[in-house]
Structure 1
Amino acid sequence: MSLDGTQTSSKSLSQEELHQEGEKVGVAQADEKNDVETEPDITTWSFPTPEAIREELSKEFTDEQKEKVWTECAETVKTSYDQLLGRWKEEMDTLLVYAGVSSAVLTAFNVESYHLLQPDPTDPTLAVLKQISAQLNGYTFTPPFLNATNSTGPGTLPPAPFQAPASAVWLNSLWFSSLVFSFAAALLALFVKQWIYEAMVGGTSRESARLRQYRFNGLLKWRVGTVVVVLPILLQLASVLFLAGLLVLLWTLHNTVAAITSVLVALVFTFVIGFTLLPVFKSDCSYRSPASFAIYAVLRVARNEVLRVIRAVCKVIYRCSMWLDWATMIHYRAQIERLAVFAYHAYDNMPTWRGRDQNEIYLYHGDLNRAIVTTAYSTTADKKFLASMPVIFSDLPPEQVPQCFRDILDFMEAEWGHWHLPDRLLLEDGVTLPLCATYGIRYMLARTDRGADWWLNDAKIVFRHYFIGNESTDKLAELACKTLCHYAVQDREYRLAFGLARKTLKSMYDKQGARHTYDTLAHAKAMYEAIMAAWDPSQGWVSYRDTMKAVSVLLHIIRATISGQSRLTSSQTDAILAWGQHELPCVDEWLRGLQWTGLHKGCVTRSTDAAAVLAFPHIAAHCLIKMIINPLITLCSMPGGRALVSGELVAALEHTWSAARLAYPDAVDVNIGFVWASGLDKIDARLVELRAVCQLPPQ
C-alpha cells in the first residue's frame, strides 16, 4: 500500500513536471514566434520619421532627470551671478569711500584757488599804485615848466581791466575738472549700487532661474561691467588732473574755466539722464534705478489714460458712423475699419514695471532656458553640464538646440583659442562632447524643416563639436552610428557626415570593440545603399572615393555579422548575411564595369590636371587597398568569411586594377608633394595575398 502510494505520488509529480516543462516550451516557442514576427525585414527597413525620433528622444530621460539638471544649472548660475553682483557691490563701496575723500580734498584746494581768477579789492599796494598812476597822468611837461593840468582823485580813476594769469586758468581748469570727475564717479557708483539691487533674484526654481538669466543677459548686453570698470578710471583721471594742477600757480573765475567745467558737467548729466531713461524704454537694460521706475510709472499712467480717452472718443465716433447713409459708409469704409481696429483691438494697456519683464521672459522663453544651461557650463567649465545637456534638449524649442552648440563654441574659442580646441578636447575627454553633439545631430533629424538652408547651417554648427576620441562607450557608438548614417543620407552634399559615419564604424566598432545591434547595422546598410545609388563617374574622384568607402561599409557590416560579437538573433544574422551575399556580386559587377578614364579629376585640388593624372595611380591604389582589399583579407581570415567571397570578386579586383594601369600608365615619384597617399608599391602584393587567403590558384 505504501509502495503503491509512493509510486502514485512519483507518477503524479512526474506528470506535473512534464506539464510545467510543456508550459515553458510553449512560452519559449511563443516568444520566439513573437520575436520573428516583430523583427523588421532588413530589405524593407527605412530610417525613422522625425515624429518617431522625437518620440524616442522624449522618452529617453525621465522628468526627475530633467528636473535635476535644471536645478543644478540654476544653482550654478545663481552662485556665479551672486558672486558677480557681490564683487561689484564691494567695488562700489570702496570707490564711494575713495571718491568722498578725493572730493573733500579737491574742494579744500578749489576754495582757495578760484580767488586767483579775480582781483583782490583790499590789496593796499594795488590801490597806491593806481593813485600814483592817476596823478602822473595829470601832469604836462612844457620846458622849462612842469604844469599840473588835471586834478585826478581816487574816485575818478578809470578801472584797469583785470586779466587772470594763464597759470591760474590752467590750475583751476585742472582742479575743477578733477572735482567733476570725482563727483561723477561717486554719482555713477550710486547708480550702479541701485542697478545691483534691482538685479538681485533669489530662489532656484525654474521661474526664478529664467528671471535671473534674463537679468544676467541684460547685464551683459548693456555693459554694466564696463561701467563698473570705467568708474575707477574716472577716479584715477581725477587724481592725475589734481597732480597736474599742482604745477600751475593761479586759478580764478574765467570764461575758459566756465566753458570747460560746463561741458564736463553737461556730459555727466547727459550720461545720468541716459542711464535713467534707457530702462524706461528697454526692459532688458540693467541701468535700473528708483528714478527710472518713477519715470516709467508716470509714463505708464499718462500713456494708458491718454489712450483710454482717445479710444473712448474713437468708439463714440465709430458708433455714430453707423448712422451714416450706405453710400457714405462705402466711400469711407477703409477709414471706418481702421478707426474700429484702433478703438477696439489695436493697443493694449502699458504693462507694469515687473509685468513688462514677464512679457519679455515669456517671449524669449526658449532663449532663456537654453542660456541657463550654457551659462552654467561657460561660468564653470565643468563637463558635467555638457554631459547633462542632452537630458533637457527635449525641453527646448528645436531651433535652440544648435544655438546651445554655438554658445559652447564661442566659449571654447574665447577660452582656449580656435586652433587648439580639438587637441585639448581629445586629451581631456573623448566621450562627453561627442555624445552631446550626437544628441544634437539627432535632434536636428527630428526637425520638420530638415533640408532647408538654415537647417543645414545649424547642423554644421553641431557637427563642429563631434569628433572620434581614443575611447567610446556602447551608448555613444550606437547613437553615433544611427545618427551619422541617417544624416549622411539626409544631406548628401555634406560629405563630412559620410566620412565621420564611416570613421565611427571603423574606430568605435572595429578598433574599440563596440557591439552592433540590428538597428545600427540596418542604418549602416541604408547608408551604403544610398551612396552606391549615387555613383556618378562624371564627378570623378569624389564619386569614386565615396563609392569605395561605401564598399568598405558593406564589408564592415558582413564582418560584424559573422564575427559573433554583434547583438543579433539567429534570424537577424541570416537576414543580414543573405542581404550581404546579394550585394557582393553587385560590387563585382561595379568593379568590372568601372571606366577609369576621367576619375582623376579632383584628386589633387591644388595642382594642374596633368599633376592629377600622374598622382592618380598612387591614390587609386591606396584607396583600393584601404577600402576593399584589406577588408576582404580580414573577412576571409574569419571563420565563415571565405565562403562569402567568391573567386569572381577577386578576379574583378585584379581586372579593374589592370584597367586602371592601362588608363593611367604613368606615375610620378612618391616623394612628390602632391601625392598625399600611395599604394602603388603594395597593391600587387596585397592582391596576391588576397588570392592566397581565399585559397585560389595563383593567377
Structure 2
Amino acid sequence: MSSESILQDREAKDGHALLDDRNDNTEAAPDIEAWSFPSPEAIREELSKEFPDEQKEKVWTEAAEAVKASYDQLLARWKEEMDTLLVYAGVSSAVLTAFNVESYHLLQPDPSDPTLAVLQQISAQLNGYTFSPPFLNSTHAATSVDLTRAQFHAPASAVWLNVLWFSSLVFSFGSALLALFVKQWINEAKVDGTSRQSARLRQYRLNGLVKWRVGTIVVIPPILLQLASVLFLSGLLVLLWTLHSTVAAVVSLLVASFFTFFLGVTILPVFKGDCSYRSPASVAMYVVLTCIRNVVLWVIRRVCREIYRLATRWVHVRQAQLDRLGDFAWRGYDDIPTWRGRDLNMIHEHHSSLDRAIATSAYSTTAHAKFLSSMPVIFTDLTPDDVVMCFDDLRKFMKGEWGQLPEIVLDDGPTPLPMCALYGLRHLLARPEKGDNEWVNDVHVVLYHYFMEGTITAHMAELSCKTLCQLAVEFRGYRHLATEDRQYRRVFGLTCATLELLYDQKGFGHTYDTLSHVRAMYEVEMAAWDPSQGFISLRDATQAISMLVHCIRATISGRSQLSPVQADAMLAWGKEQLPRLHQWLRDLSWTGLHKGCLALSGHTAQVLAFRHIASHLLVANVIDPLIALGSMQGGRELVSKELIVTIEHAWLRACLAYPDFAPLDAIYVWSSGLDQIDSRLTELCAIQQLDHELPLDSSVPHAT
C-alpha cells in the first residue's frame, strides 16, 4: 500500500465531505466559543475507523513476507558460511595434528640419553685401569652414575614452536566446534509460513538472534581460523630458523609477503568504504576502532562538560529490595511449559512488541519507502508505547545505517516519514495520561522524524495543522517544568513555521476545523502573556498575533473550504480580536523584555542586541502579516488607522526604552530588522494612506 494510494483515498473522503457541507445551505451558525479540541477517546475512535481491516491485513501480509524473505536469506547465508568453514577447519586440523605429533617430542628428553651416560661411565672406568703384570691397577675412583640428577631443559625454540602450533590447533578445533553450534542454532531458528502467528514466531526468533548476538558469533569462527593459520606459519618460521638459515630466510620472505597482503586487505576496508576486501576480521577491526573512538570522544566531551559547568555530580544509590527474598520464598510457581509452549507464551505476552518489530523490520531489511507509507495503517493494532518504539527503531536503524536522516528516504518519497510522524503524534494525543516526562520524551522521539519537504497533499496539510496546534496547546499546560518549556518552544515554533509554509507559501486551503485549531492555539498563547518572562513571552505573543492575522487572511482569501456561515463566524471572531491586538500594543511596556533574548548571560549584551531582535519580531510577526492582510480584497478595512498608529508608537517606545544598540555585525546579534522596519512601516501606512512621520531617526541615538 503506497503513500499515494492512502492519501488519495483520504482526499476522496475529504472531498465528498466538503461537497456535502457546501450543499447544505441550512447549516446553523457554529458556536466558536463552544468549540474544543477532540478528546483522547474521540481521537482514538477517529484513528480506528480511518483504515479498514482489509487494508490492515494487506499491510501485515506484505510486512511478514518481506521479513520472511530477509530472514530466510540471512539463515541460508550463515549456513553456507559454516559449511565452507567446517571443510577448511577439518583440513587445517588434520595438517596441524600431523605437525604437532612430531613437535611435542622436542619438549621431552631423548630416551637414549640414560644409556649413553652409562656407556660413557664404563668407558671412563676402563680408561682408568693400568695393567702391570701380575696386577691390574685403577687410577680413578669408581663412581656411580646418578641418572636422576641431570635435569632436562627444552630449548626455547622448541617451547615457542609447540606453543604456536598447539594454539593453532586449539583455534582450529574451536572454530569447527563453534560452527557446529551455529548450524544447530540455524536449524532451530527456521520458521515456515506467513500467517500472523508464524510472523510473530519468526520475529520472536529474529529478536532472539539479535539480542543474543548470533550475528557476532557467526563472524568468530573465520577469525579463529585466520589466527590459526597465522600461528602455524609463525611456528614454521621458528622451526626453520633452528634448522637452516637459508631455507628460513626464503620462507620468511614468503610469509612476510603473505602477512603484508593479509593485513592490507584486512585494514583497507576499515578506512575505505568502497573497498571490496571485506571480511569478518575487517568488520571486527572497524567495530573495535569505532568503539575506541566513541569512548575517547565521550571521555573528552564529558571532561570538557564538567569543566565548563563546574558542578558536582549527584550519585544515586539504590537500596536493596529485601522484599524480593520474601517473594521468592513464599510465591507459588507454575509448572515449567514445554519448549514450544514457552515460545507461544512469550509470543502471547509480547505480541504487540513483536508486531511492531515486524513493521519496522520490513523497512529496515529492505529500506523500501512503501513500508513507511503503510506503517500508519497498523498503528491502531499496536499499544501506544509500541507506536513510539516504531520511531525509536527507525531512528536507530537510520543512525546505524547512514549516520543521520538519509537522503535516500527523501529520494524514495518525502511524504512517508513525516506522515508516519504525524500519525504517531495523533496516537500520542490519544493517550489518556499526558504531561509526564515519559510522554514528553515520546513526543520528542516521534517529532524527530517530522519535516516538510517535497510533495505535500491537502490531507497532510490538514493533519499537520490539527496535530501540531493541539500538541502546542497540550504542551502549554505542562510548561512549568524546564524540559516541557524547551519542548513547548520547539513545538510552538514548528507549528507556526508549518502553517506559514503550508497555507501561506504552498497555498493550501483551511477547513473550519483547522482554523478552529489555530484559533484555539492563539487564544491560549495570548492568555499566557506574561511580561515578567521577558523575551520568550514577547516572541510567543508576537507569533500568536501572526496566527490571528493568518486566520483572518485564510477566511477572506476564498481558498479555505468554509461554508458561508462558517466564514462569517470566523471573520466575526477575527474582527473581535483586532481591538484586543490594538489594546495589547498600547499597553505594551518594553522595559525588561530583553531578558533571555540571548544565550549569553550578560545583561549588557542582551540590552544592546534587543533592539535588533525586537525589530525583527515586529516586522516578521506583526507588520508583514498586516501588510499582506491589507493588500487582500476585503482586508483593507480590517487594518484600521488606529492600529497602524499604535504599531508606530509601540516601536517608538521600544526605541526610547533601548536607545543604545550594537552594530549589526556583532557576533551575538542573531537576527535584526532595523534595516527593514522603517520601509515596512511606510508600506503599512500606505494601506490607509497615512504618512510615516514619526521622527525615529532624529530622536534615537546612533548605534554605539
Distance across 1 between alignment mates of 2:95 and 2:498: 71
Distance across 1 between alignment mates of 2:573 and 2:682: 28
Alignment of 1:206 onto 2:190: no
Q: Displacement of 1:637 after TM fit?
A: 0.9
Alignment of 1:661 onto 2:655: yes
Question: 2:426 maps to which residue?
Answer: 442
Q: Displacement of 1:153 after TM fit?
A: 10
Uncovered stretches (5+) of structure 2, i.e. residues with no partner:
1-19, 241-325, 477-484, 694-704
Q: What is the TM-score of this pair, normalised by structure 2?
A: 0.77
Does the 8 Å CA contact 2:597/2:610 hold for their aligned counterparts? yes
Alignment of 1:414 onto 2:400: yes
Alignment counterpart, residue 233 of structure 1, candidates 223, 229, 232:
223
Alignment of 1:170 onto 2:160: yes
List per-residue Cα deviations over 1:299-346 (Å, max 9, x = no partner).
xxxxxxxxxxxxxxxxxxxxxxxxxxxxxxxxxxxxxxx99x96xx82
Question: 2:119 maps to which residue?
Answer: 131
The one-letter code of the counterpart of 2:179 is A
Q: Displacement of 1:104 after TM fit?
A: 1.1
Does the 8 Å CA contact 1:618/1:679 hold for their aligned counterparts? yes
Q: Displacement of 1:627 after TM fit?
A: 0.7
Q: What secondary structure is seen at the aligned counterpart in 1 of 2:138? A: strand
Question: 1:290 maps to which residue?
Answer: none
Alignment of 1:652 onto 2:646: yes
Does the 8 Å CA contact 2:511/2:562 hold for their aligned counterparts? yes
Distance across 2 between alignment mates of 1:152 and 1:425: 93
Does the 8 Å CA contact 2:125/2:140 hold for their aligned counterparts? no
Alignment of 1:504 onto 2:480: no
Question: 1:542 maps to which residue?
Answer: 536
Q: Displacement of 1:518 after TM fit?
A: 0.5
The one-letter code of the counterpart of 2:614 is A
Alignment counterpart, residue 529 of structure 1, candidates 523, 532, 543:
523
List per-residue Cα deviations over 1:571-611 (Å, max 9, x = no partner).
00000000000000000000000000001111122262111
Q: Displacement of 1:126 after TM fit?
A: 7.1
The one-letter code of the counterpart of 2:456 is S
Distance across 1 between alignment mates of 2:149 and 2:437: 84
Aligned pair count reads: 575
Q: What secondary structure is seen at the aligned counterpart in 2 of 1:499? A: helix
List per-residue Cα deviations over 1:123-176 (Å, max 9, x = no partner).
5x973553122442587699999616777899x977855444333333233222
Alignment of 1:147 onto 2:146: no
Distance across 2 between alignment mates of 1:413 and 1:48: 35
Question: 1:627 maps to which residue?
Answer: 621
Does the 8 Å CA contact 1:99/1:183 hold for their aligned counterparts? yes
The one-letter code of the counterpart of 1:694 is Q
Alignment counterpart, residue 459 of structure 2, candidates 461, 470, 475:
475
Alignment counterpart, residue 27 of structure 2, candidates 30, 35, 45:
35
Alignment of 1:519 onto 2:503: no
Question: 1:363 maps to which residue?
Answer: 349
List per-residue Cα deviations over 1:455-494 (Å, max 9, x = no partner).
1111111111111225411111000000000000000231
Distance across 1 between alignment mates of 2:410 and 2:148: 91
Alignment counterpart, residue 694 of structure 1, candidates 688, 693, 696:
688
List per-residue Cα deviations over 1:41-60 (Å, max 9, x = no partner).
22211000000000000111
After superposition, residues 163-312 of structure 1 pair within 5 angstroms as: 163-249=153-239
Q: Displacement of 1:376 after TM fit?
A: 1.3
Q: What secondary structure is seen at the aligned counterpart in 2 of 1:204? A: coil
List per-residue Cα deviations over 1:53-99 (Å, max 9, x = no partner).
00000111111111111111111111111111111101100000000
Distance across 1 between alignment mates of 2:130 and 2:439: 107
Question: 1:491 maps to which residue?
Answer: 475
Distance across 2 between alignment mates of 1:29 and 1:117: 98
Alignment of 1:347 onto 2:333: yes
Q: What secondary structure is seen at the aligned counterpart in 1 of 2:353? A: helix
Q: Displacement of 1:619 after TM fit?
A: 1.2
Q: Displacement of 1:436 after TM fit?
A: 1.1
Does the 8 Å CA contact 1:138/1:148 hold for their aligned counterparts? no
Alignment of 1:402 onto 2:396: no
Does the 8 Å CA contact 2:545/2:581 hold for their aligned counterparts? yes
Distance across 2 between alignment mates of 1:396 and 1:87: 32
Distance across 2 between alignment mates of 1:41 and 1:427: 45
Question: 1:590 maps to which residue?
Answer: 584
Q: What is the TM-score of this pair, normalised by structure 1?
A: 0.78
Question: 1:608 maps to which residue?
Answer: 602
The one-letter code of the counterpart of 1:355 is G
Q: Displacement of 1:396 after TM fit?
A: 0.3
Alignment counterpart, residue 87 of structure 1, candidates 77, 100, 122:
77
Question: 1:17 maps to which residue?
Answer: none
Distance across 1 between alignment mates of 2:406 and 2:682: 40
Distance across 2 between alignment mates of 1:428 and 1:90: 33
**CA separation of 1:32/1:169 partners in 2, compared to 1, >3 Å: closer, same or farther?**
closer
Distance across 1 between alignment mates of 2:21 and 2:128: 146
Q: What secondary structure is seen at the aligned counterpart in 1 of 2:637? A: coil
Taking every aligned residue pair, what percent have the same amino acid on both sides?
A: 60
Q: What secondary structure is seen at the aligned counterpart in 1 of 2:34? A: coil
Distance across 1 between alignment mates of 2:70 and 2:553: 52
**CA separation of 1:425/1:213 partners in 2, compared to 1, >3 Å: closer, same or farther?**
closer
Alignment counterpart, residue 37 of structure 2, candidates 40, 43, 47:
47
Of the structure 1 ranges 400-409 and 604-613, higher mean CA displacement relative to structure 2 is found in 604-613
